[in-house]
Structure formats: structure tokens, C-alpha cells
């Protein structure tokens, strides 16, 4: 099985937002944004800019006919700032001109006066000042207050994780065109077409049916286009409404990096208690999430942090509190893992600290406390599978970490300049949107009279291969060749009221909807075939490889013929189907329920080599045993694991967002200053073993979701590096702070050696 879109990509024939031929009369948008982290808008003078030749018009908040509001969960974000700005990059005005350079020049010609106000960028400071996006939430299990007395070992500390820029290779952008009757079609670079439709309708003051949103493909997204693709799409639509001309907006890399939100930085306090035999008895944690200036998806992300506070471990007494803090950064947003990586980093830090205190290897604590079938999570759900322990055991069986440890000890004892380190990273990630309502999808399937098939769903192809999987589901359900199936663009007129392509669940839910829709048509076709062939009721009639079979024996009634006959007999060759993930509920007053369809688990073993002199390192290997259920496309799933892993490694090592200390403007605002992993940085060896599937899963055809969980294997690299640092100097006291940059490593090495 392939990632079918690659066949277009390698020839350069796949079309991205900026690749479509320009329409006649096309206007290009450029955006004036706030240069200040916080301030009052004193004046905006646009006359001079508007007079520039080629400038059509300049739109400010007062030109918005509907509601100036793009909020998702909480209504706290204007499309265009009115009297105050809250972050650098907050849109204030949109210039429309006949070419992009003129539009950008005109932006520079706008006279903007801002009275700067003090800004807050540290979430703890925001918390102290009462700047919260929503009230704190606490998930608990057992009673930590009485558990501490029973603990032999208690460690406390702080763990900080940094933000992360998405660096989707295709920057944000949208094109909107006018249709008759004041309708608008938006070609949007979004993971959430329905959300763009809804917000456009709100801002433009027109009903949703007048807004059609179409998504062909995205050049990467990773969560960064779930909510944050919306403003640009709405601006384009607003431009169309005002000018009646098509409008295109494409951010350049620098704009995209400076203006849009990132993975949330967190700063957290932890307390972990264990018995002498390494059993974790109690865990308390407080997460201060840096939400940025508007809520965006922060509250949902924080909720997932709370769901994953105990990761792959059973802890009988837990108290996890999450605080969503409002600061003057661009609103932070969804990014692969959606709050879970931040939670897992804190617990792994606590375990690491306990292991140092107890003088044992971290994996002793990890292994002892892995979830067993039947163990409960703090949110009330029971861990139903056995995959986490099985993945750990399989990893041990395949790679013999005990021997690896010995080899590393040997290497480290003879090498002075280089030291190796190792870590284990178990991951347990819940699959489903934690907002229960979002766990629904729909599909529209047409079989054309020549036997070819068109499939529309709410899933957006952004590289993750969802379209390949959907093609497979349709082809497999009908038992026709994959070439006969085409996946259409994601369009709100064909798939309405859809959830964003997020939470790793697009293939599960849309795939299941496609399966149901195809089955509906198939059943009609088989009924017709029975009639046509005159078989008896006991006979089993099926379609196999485009041939109708009776009791397993082929007939001359082929797919194409059957479809043609169905059309002539006036039998519907189309079906729309809806899928809602079963069995989900959550009571947020108690913070208990069954929020996930299932869990995806796995374990990673990471080895690194540290250059003790230069403070640099190389990633020797990452070996992973991962639970994909029964993968329907191993090539795609392997790609998701490899790609997620390296993004996770980048998050904890290379990728550092640097801000000016005074204005707090982003300094690492280009690919020259914000470095993401390149081909040399990737681990020398990556081994992936799919865990044998022994159970029924909620995914389509018994598969499991794969998008997000592998990201968190990357956390293992942080702890492998810490391990190597400790091999240089056992006294090193790490701060538990990501990213562990080359600078931080060198400064740790400078701590006096043994």
C-alpha cells in the first residue's frame, strides 16, 4: 500500500494554495499587525496607504458587517483589533491590492500609533495577577493528602517545556472568490473547513449556507491550521464581500512565524511519592499553561494535559490541576499531542528525579508502574488493553536493553570525550476528541455509471495519508481496485458540520463513515445482483475483486455491469452516511467518564552520544514498539511514527523560540534562526516494530489512530541526553527544562566535574 498522493508530489503536479492559476481581477491581501505586545490603539491613518497606486481598499474593524469575533470555545478574539492590541502580530487592518508587493508596501505606509502598556509573558506572573483564560480544573484519584505519609521517597520540583513553531512547509493562506447571490467560496488552507465556514458566516453576517469552504490539501499542518488558519480565510472572504473581487492571502514565512501561535509553553510544579520498592503511590502536579492573548483551543489542550498527567502509569493517588493563563503572546494553539507531551514531560521529569534520589535506573520505576489491564485513570476510565506492558516486553525481547546498558557502561568507561546515554519512553495516548460532540463524521459516496467512485468526507489531507486510507476503505468495502476510487476535496457543501481533522481521529471516524456509506450502496447492488442472478435465499452473494460471486464462485456479473444495471433500474448509486464514535461520555462536574474510544500505546528506547567537550551530541538510535492495531496502511503508519518521533525530538532539543527580553518580539522568526531537524539531525537508526494486535479496536477495519502518539517518543531523547550528561558528571543537577539546547548542555557540563 502506498501514500497515493506522493505520486503527484514527486512530479510537482499536486496543487497547493499558491499553485492555482490566478483569477481575473484577483486582489492580494497583506495584513497590518500590532508591533506591540500590549497597547492601546491611539490612531490608524490609512489615507496615504490607500492612495498608493494598485491599492484597492484597506479594511479595519469598523468595516466588519457582522460580529468581529473569531473565537472558538470562548469568544475572546477579534478578527481585527478595535481599540486594544494584546500581542505582537495581532491583525489590525487588511490591505487589498493588485499584487502582493504593493499590498505589503501599503501596509508599511499605514500610520499606526500605539500607546504601549505593560505586558506579561510568564504564565506564573499571569496567574499571580489573576489573568486566567478559564477557572483552574483539577482531576483527582484517591487522596494524595493522606498518601504522602505512606511514601518512603518524595521528590518535588519544577519542569518547564518550551513552545514549538509548527513549520508546516506551506505557510498559511486562503483564496476567496465571489459567487452569485452574494455567496462566497473559500479555498482555505485549514484543518477545520466547518469552523472557517462558521466564523466567516459570523463575521460577514451571512448564513452558513452562503459560505462554501473547500480544502484540497495542506502542505503540513500539525495542528497549526486547526484554528489559526481561520483568520486569514475570513479576511479573504471579507475582502470578497467588500470588493466583489477574488482575494488571495498567503503569509510569508516570517509573518507566519511571528504572528501565529505555537505549541503552549508550560511551567509546572510536581510532587511524586514512592515506596522503597519503586511503586509510585502519589502524584501532585500543577500545570501553568501559557495560553497567549486569546483562548483559541487552550482550554481543550489543557484538558488533554490533565487526561494524560499519568501517561502510561498507574498511580493510585493523583491530584492534577491545570491553569490556563492569559499572556501577551500570540494565542497558543493545537500542535500534535495537544497538551499531552507537556504532561508526560512533567511526570518523566519527576520519575527521573526520584530515580536519582533512589540511586536506580529510571526504567526500574517506569516498568514497575506501567498500566495493567483494569487499572484506572484519574478521569474514571479503565485501561482496557494490555498493550503498554506488551510493548515494553517486546522492546526488551527485541533489543535487550540490559545488554545495551552494559555496552554503554563499557563505552563510557573507556571513552573520555564521548559519553552515551539511554532512556525508555512509554506512551499511552487516548483517542477521541475530548469534546464529545466532535466525535462524529460524515461521508458522501457516489458510484458513477462507469464504475468509478468519488468519496467526500470531512477529513483534510495534510500529508498524514488520510486520503490514502479513505481510498482503501472504499475500495476494500466494495472490493474494487483502488484506481477506481477518487477522494474529493473536503468541501462543506458535500460534508457538512464536520469536525476538524485533528485528534488523530480523522481516518477512524471518516473512514468508518465511508465504510457505512459504501456498505449502503453495496447492499443495494447485491440485492440487485441476487435478483439478476436469480439465486436462492441461502446462497451467499458477494462482490470480490469487482466480480459478483455466489457462494464464493465467480459469475460473469462484473462491477461495471452491475453498476450500469443499477442505474438503469433507477437504484441510487449514492449514499451519505454518518458515524458517531460509540460509548463516549464525560461529566465535567465530576471530571469522570469515558472520554476515549481506546488508547494507543508503545515504548521507545533511545540512545545518544554526547560530545563532552563541545556540548554537542548525536542521536544513535531510537527503537520503538508501537501499537497500530491492525494497520491498514503500514507505509503510512510507519511514516507517521517516524515523522512524529522527529518532531518530538526537535521539541525537546533543537527548537528554541527566542524572544527579545524587552519587547518580547520573536527573534527566532525565520528558518535561519529557528532550526528544525534536518536529514543529518535525524537518529542514525530508527527501528519500528508494530505490536501484534490481539484485540478489537475502535478504528476502521480494526486499525488504530496514529497521528499524535509517536510525537511523545521524542521526549525520550531529552532523558537519554540527561543520562549521558550524568555519565559525564553524576552530580549534574538538571533543571528539567526543554529545549535542551547545545547551550544548556554546555552550561550543564560546566558544572564542576567529579
Partner 1 sequence: MISFILNDQQFTTELPPGSVALDLIRKAARLTGTKEGCREGDCGACTVLLGIPQQNGMKYMAVNSCLLPVGELRGRHLVTVEGLSPSEGYSPVQSLIVNEGASQCGFCTPGIVMSLTGYLLSTVSPITEGAIDSLGGNICRCTGYVSIRKAAELLCSKIGPSPALSPESPLHIKWLIEKRIIPPFFEGIESRLNEIGTPESPDVMDSGMSDVIRVAGGTDLFAIKAEKLKNAELLFFSRQPEMNGITVKNDHCFIGAAATVSNIMDSEVFNCIEGFSRIRRLISSTQIRNRATLGGNIVNASPIGDLSIIFLALDSVALISNGIEKRQTRLKNFFRGYKILDLAPDEIIEGLSFRIPDRNTEFNFEKVSMRKHLDIAAVNTAARIKVENGKILEADLSAGGVAPVPLFLKETSSVLKGKLISSDMVLLAADTARQEVKPIDDVRGSAEYKRILLGRLIAAHFIELFPDLVNVKELL
Nearest alpha carbon to residue 477 among 572, 546, 412, 416: 546
Q: Is 664 left (phi over 0), alpha (psi -120 to 50) or beta?
A: left
User: Quick check: 732 binds partner 1 (CB under 8 A)?
Assistant: no
The C-alpha torsion from 186 through 189 and 194 to 196, rounded to 10°, is -70
Judge whether 421 and 429 are in contact, CB under 8 Å.
no
Span 536-595, contacts to partner 1 by CB under 8 A = none
User: Quick check: 654 binds partner 1 (CB under 8 A)?
Assistant: yes
> Alpha-carbon distance 253 to 235, whole Å?
18
Q: What is the phi/psi pair of residue 323, to 5°?
A: -125, 120
User: Quick check: 753 binds partner 1 (CB under 8 A)?
Assistant: yes
> Alpha-carbon distance 496 to 193, whole Å?
9
Q: How far apart, in Å, do the first and last CA atoms of the chain sit?
A: 54
Q: What is the phi/psi pair of residue 363, to 5°?
A: -65, -20
Span 360-399, contacts to partner 1 by CB under 8 A = none
Segment holding 141, helix H or strand E: strand 132-141
708 is catalytic: yes
Q: Of 522 and 641, which CB lies nearer to partner 1 in the complex structure?
A: 641
* Least distance in angstroms from the C-beta of 617 to partner 1: 9
* Least distance in angstroms from the C-beta of 248 to partner 1: 13
Span 308-337, contacts to partner 1 by CB under 8 A = none
User: Quick check: 18 binds partner 1 (CB under 8 A)?
Assistant: yes
Q: Of 200 and 741, which CB lies nearer to partner 1 in the complex structure?
A: 741
Q: Of 86 and 420, which CB lies nearer to partner 1 in the complex structure?
A: 420
Q: Which stretch binds partner 1 (CB under 8 A): 140-148, 297-305, 470-478, 607-615?
A: 607-615
Q: Burial letters for 295-329: b for 16+ Cβ neighbours within 10 Å, e otherwise?
A: bbbbbbbbbbbbbbbbbbbbbbbbbbbbbbbbbbb
User: Quick check: 747 binds partner 1 (CB under 8 A)?
Assistant: yes
* Least distance in angstroms from the C-beta of 712 to partner 1: 14
Question: What number of other Cβ atoms are within 10 A of residue 75's Cβ?
Answer: 13
> Alpha-carbon distance 610 to 746, whole Å?
10
User: Quick check: 116 binds partner 1 (CB under 8 A)?
Assistant: no
Beta-strand pair 453-457/485-487: parallel
> Alpha-carbon distance 533 to 541, whole Å?
10
Span 484-513, contacts to partner 1 by CB under 8 A = none
User: Quick check: 255 binds partner 1 (CB under 8 A)?
Assistant: no
> Alpha-carbon distance 232 to 240, whole Å?
13
Span 219-248, contacts to partner 1 by CB under 8 A = 219-222
> Alpha-carbon distance 453 to 349, whole Å?
51
Q: Which stretch binds partner 1 (CB under 8 A): 15-23, 25-33, 538-546, 730-738?
A: 15-23
> Alpha-carbon distance 164 to 739, whole Å?
9
Q: Of 157 and 337, which CB lies nearer to partner 1 in the complex structure?
A: 337
Q: Which stretch binds partner 1 (CB under 8 A): 116-124, 435-443, 584-592, 665-673?
A: 665-673
Size of the site for partner 1 (CB under 8 A): 78
Span 413-432, contacts to partner 1 by CB under 8 A = 416-417
Among 225, 612, 664, 704, binds partner 1 (CB under 8 A): 612
User: What single string gives the DSSP state of each residue in 669-723?
Assistant: -STTTS----TTTS-SEEEEEEPPP-S--SSGGGB---SSGGGGGGHHHHHHHHH
Q: Which of 165, 170, 303, 708 is catalytic?
A: 708
Among 384, 676, 693, 701, binds partner 1 (CB under 8 A): 676
User: Quick check: 656 binds partner 1 (CB under 8 A)?
Assistant: yes
User: Quick check: 21 binds partner 1 (CB under 8 A)?
Assistant: yes
User: Quick check: 440 binds partner 1 (CB under 8 A)?
Assistant: no
User: Quick check: 482 binds partner 1 (CB under 8 A)?
Assistant: no
User: Quick check: 26 binds partner 1 (CB under 8 A)?
Assistant: no
Judge whether 45 and 111 are in contact, CB under 8 Å.
yes
Site string for partner 1, 53-92 (x = CB under 8 A): ----------------------------------------
Q: Of 534 and 680, which CB lies nearer to partner 1 in the complex structure?
A: 680
Span 164-183, contacts to partner 1 by CB under 8 A = 166-171
Question: What number of other Cβ atoms are within 10 A of residue 235's Cβ?
Answer: 25
Q: Which stretch binds partner 1 (CB under 8 A): 127-135, 262-270, 601-609, 737-745?
A: 737-745
Q: Which stretch binds partner 1 (CB under 8 A): 239-247, 313-321, 570-578, 744-752?
A: 744-752
Among 73, 436, 533, 671, binds partner 1 (CB under 8 A): 671
Nearest alpha carbon to residue 320 among 333, 329, 311: 311
* Least distance in angstroms from the C-beta of 109 to partner 1: 15
Span 625-644, contacts to partner 1 by CB under 8 A = 635-636, 638-639, 642-644
Vertex 500 angle, CA 497 and 504, to 5°? 135
Q: Of 271 and 612, which CB lies nearer to partner 1 in the complex structure?
A: 612
List, by residue number, the catalytic residues: 708
Amino acid at each position: 500500500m502506498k501514500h497515493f498522493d506522493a505520486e503527484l508530489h514527486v512530479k510537482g503536479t499536486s496543487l497547493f494554495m499558491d499553485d492555482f492559476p490566478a483569477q481575473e481581477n484577483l486582489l492580494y491581501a497583506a495584513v497590518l499587525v500590532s508591533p506591540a505586545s500590549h497597547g492601546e490603539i491611539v490612531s490608524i491613518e490609512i489615507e496615504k496607504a490607500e492612495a498608493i497606486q494598485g491599492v484597492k481598499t484597506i479594511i479595519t474593524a469598523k468595516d466588519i458587517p457582522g460580529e468581529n469575533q473569531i473565537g472558538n470555545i470562548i469568544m475572546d478574539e477579534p478578527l481585527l483589533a478595535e481599540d486594544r492590541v494584546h500581542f505582537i502580530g495581532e491583525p489590525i487592518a487588511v490591505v487589498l491590492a493588485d499584487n502582493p508587493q504593493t499590498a505589503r508596501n501599503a501596509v508599511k505606509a499605514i500610520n499606526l500609533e500605539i500607546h504601549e502598556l505593560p505586558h506579561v509573558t510568564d504564565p506564573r506572573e499571569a496567574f499571580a495577577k489573576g489573568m486566567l483564560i478559564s477557572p483552574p480544573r483539577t482531576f483527582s484519584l484517591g487522596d494524595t493528602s493522606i498518601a504522602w505519609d505512606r511514601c518512603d521517597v518524595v521528590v518535588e520540583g519544577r519542569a518547564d517545556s518550551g513552545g514549538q513553531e509548527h513549520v508546516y512547509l506551506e505557510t498559511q493562506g486562503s483564496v476567496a472568490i465571489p459567487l452569485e447571490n452574494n455567496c462566497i467560496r473559500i479555498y482555505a488552507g485549514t484543518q477545520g473547513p466547518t469552523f472557517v465556514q462558521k466564523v466567516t458566516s459570523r463575521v460577514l453576517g451571512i448564513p452558513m449556507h452562503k459560505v462554501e469552504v473547500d480544502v484540497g490539501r495542506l502542505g503540513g499542518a500539525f495542528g497549526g491550521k486547526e484554528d489559526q488558519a481561520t483568520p486569514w480565510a475570513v479576511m479573504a472572504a471579507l475582502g470578497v464581500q467588500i470588493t466583489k473581487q477574488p482575494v488571495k492571502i498567503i503569509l510569508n514565512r516570517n509573518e507566519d512565524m511571528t504572528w501565529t501561535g505555537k505549541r503552549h509553553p508550560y511551567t509546572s510544579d510536581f510532587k511524586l511519592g514512592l515506596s522503597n520498592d519503586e511503586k509510585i503511590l502519589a502524584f501532585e502536579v500543577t500545570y501553568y499553561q501559557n495560553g497567549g492573548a486569546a483562548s483559541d483551543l487552550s482550554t481543550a489542550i489543557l484538558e488533554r494535559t490533565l487526561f494524560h498527567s499519568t501517561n502510561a502509569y498507574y498511580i493510585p493517588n493523583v491530584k492534577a490541576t491545570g491553569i490556563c493563563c492569559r499572556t501577551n503572546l500570540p494565542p497558543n494553539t493545537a500542535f500534535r499531542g495537544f497538551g499531552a507531551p507537556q504532561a508526560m514531560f512533567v511526570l518523566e521529569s519527576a520519575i527521573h528525579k526520584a530515580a536519582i534520589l533512589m540511586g536506580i535506573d529510571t526504567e526500574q520505576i517506569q516498568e514497575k508502574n506501567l498500566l495493567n489491564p483494569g487499572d484506572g485513570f484519574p478521569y474514571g476510565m479503565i485501561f482496557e488493553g494490555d498493550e503498554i506492558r506488551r510493548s515494553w516486553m517486546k522492546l526488551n525481547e527485541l533489543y535487550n536493553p540490559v545488554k545495551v546498558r552494559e555496552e554503554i557502561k563499557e563505552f563510557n568507561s573507556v571513552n573520555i570525550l564521548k559519553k552515551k546515554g539511554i532512556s525508555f519512553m512509554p506512551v499511552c495516548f487516548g483517542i477521541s476528541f475530548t469534546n464529545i460532540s466532535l466525535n462524529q463524521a460524515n461521508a458522501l459516496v457516489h458510484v458513477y455509471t462507469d464504475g468509478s467512485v468519488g468519496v467526500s468526507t470531512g477529513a483534510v489531507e495534510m500529508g498524514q495519508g488520510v486520503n490514502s486510507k479513505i481510498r482503501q476503505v472504499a475500495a476494500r468495502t466494495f472490493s474494487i481496485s483502488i484506481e477506481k476510487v477518487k477522494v474529493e476535496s473536503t468541501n462543506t457543501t458535500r460534508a457538512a458540520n464536520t469536525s476538524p481533522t485533528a485528534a488523530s481521529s480523522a481516518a477512524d471516524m471518516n473512514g468508518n463513515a465511508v465504510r457505512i456509506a459504501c456498505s449502503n450502496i453495496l447492499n443495494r447492488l447485491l440485492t440487485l445482483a441476487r435478483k439478476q442472478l436469480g439465486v436462492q435465499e441461502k446462497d451467499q452473494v458477494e462482490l470480490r475483486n469487482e466480480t459478483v460471486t455466489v457462494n464464493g464462485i465467480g459469475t460473469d456479473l462484473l462491477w461495471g455491469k452491475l453498476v450500469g444495471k443499477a442505474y438503469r433500474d433507477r437504484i441510487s448509486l449514492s449514499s451519505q452516511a454518518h458515524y458517531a464514535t460509540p460509548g463516549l461520555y464525560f461529566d465535567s462536574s465530576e471530571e469522570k467518564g469515558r472520554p476515549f474510544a481506546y488508547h494507543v500505546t508503545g515504548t521507545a528506547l533511545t540512545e545518544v552520544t554526547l560530545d563532552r567537550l563541545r556540548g554537542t551530541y548525536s542521536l544513535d538510535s531510537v527503537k520503538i514498539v508501537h501499537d497500530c492495531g491492525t494497520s491498514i496502511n503500514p507505509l503510512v503508519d510507519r511514516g507517521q511514527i517516524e515523522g512524529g518521533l522527529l518532531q518530538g525530538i526537535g521539541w525537546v532539543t533543537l527548537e528554541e523560540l527566542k524572544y527579545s527580553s524587552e519587547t518580547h518580539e520573536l527573534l527566532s522568526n525565520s528558518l535561519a534562526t529557528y532550526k528544525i531537524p534536518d536529514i543529518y539531525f535525524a537518529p542514525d537508526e530508527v527501528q519500528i516494530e508494530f505490536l501484534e494486535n490481539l484485540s478489537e479496536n475502535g478504528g476502521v477495519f480494526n486499525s488504530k489512530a496514529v497521528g499524535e502518539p509517536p510525537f511523545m517518543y521524542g521526549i525520550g531523547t531529552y532523558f537519554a541526553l540527561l543520562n549521558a550528561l550524568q555519565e559525564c558528571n553524576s552530580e549534574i543537577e538538571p533543571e528539567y527544562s526543554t529545549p535542551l539546547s547545545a547551550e544548556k548542555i554546555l552550561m550543564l557540563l560546566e558544572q564542576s566535574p567529579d
